[in-house]
């Protein structure tokens, strides 16, 4: 997982409410066994409109998505997070998220930022013409117009995102402690190594 510290760039001024995971990635894309290429299916039904936000020259490849309330509701498909990553999105800003989507986003290195609706409205306005800056270390979202919004994040999630640590990375980071524990167990219970029951 790539570390997340600062994310700076254009943002999709999407702002739709109650966007479920079937809108983020339709179910027929769930047959794949790889994460690569899922960006093509991201928001597929919306992208049938030739003037859609996600394929526009101005916003294509933006690292930030500004969404409406209850983003990621619906089924628990992790493919939604994979599709956003493959689309280039590293952070989603919204008034609220589905718990399952928020968890899947975190596990895949996507920062979810919760801000009040008034801040979302302002960021959507700014995003139409300017860049947005997110600083995870200082937990701020800023604009070139001196707008500054602070956000809360679980300290554990913040540490993992800053360090680029997924579940495997967290385990590997404790390799020395795990090895020491195994050495202690072997010394105290040698019968376990031979497979003989106590």
Cβ distance 27 to 192 under 8 Å? no
Residues 6+ apart with CB under 8 A from 19: 67, 68, 70, 71, 72, 73
Tell me the per-residue pLDDT of 68-83, one tens digit each, with 9 for 90 and over.
Answer: 999 999 988 999 999 9
Q: How many Å apart are CA 160 and CA 104, to the nearest integer?
A: 13
Q: Can you give the pTM of this predicted structure? A: 0.87
Tokens of 58: 């101005």
C-alpha dihedral, 183 to 186 to 192 to 196, nearest 10°: 150
Tell me the per-residue pLDDT of 23-39, one tens digit each, with 9 for 90 and over.
Answer: 999 999 998 878 889 99
Distances (CA, A) of 117 to 8, 66, 94: 21, 11, 8
Q: Crossing angle of helices 99-107/79-87, nearest 10°? A: 60
pLDDT at 20 over 80: yes
Tell me the per-residue pLDDT of 144-187, one tens digit each, with 9 for 90 and over.
Answer: 999 999 999 999 999 999 999 877 777 777 778 888 888 888 88
């Amino acid at each position: 997982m790539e570390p997340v510290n600062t994310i700076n760039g254009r943002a999709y001024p999407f702002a739709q409410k109650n966007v479920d995971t079937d809108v983020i990635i339709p179910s027929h894309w769930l047959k794949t066994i790889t994460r690569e290429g899922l960006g093509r299916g991201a928001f597929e039904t919306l992208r049938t409109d030739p003037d859609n936000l996600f394929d526009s020259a101005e916003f294509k490849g933006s690292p930030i998505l500004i969404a409406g309330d209850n983003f990621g509701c619906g089924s628990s498909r992790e493919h939604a997070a994979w599709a956003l990553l493959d689309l280039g999105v590293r952070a989603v800003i919204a008034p609220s998220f589905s718990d399952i989507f928020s968890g899947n986003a975190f596990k895949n290195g996507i920062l979810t930022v919760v801000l009040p609706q008034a801040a979302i409205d302002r960021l959507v306005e700014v995003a139409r013409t300017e860049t947005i800056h997110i600083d995870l270390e200082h937990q701020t979202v800023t604009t070139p117009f001196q707008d500054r919004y602070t956000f809360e994040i679980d300290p554990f999630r913040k540490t993992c995102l800053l360090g680029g640590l997924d579940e495997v990375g967290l385990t590997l980071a404790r390799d020395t402690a795990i090895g020491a524990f195994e050495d202690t167990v072997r010394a105290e219970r040698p019968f376990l190594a031979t497979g003989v029951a106590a």
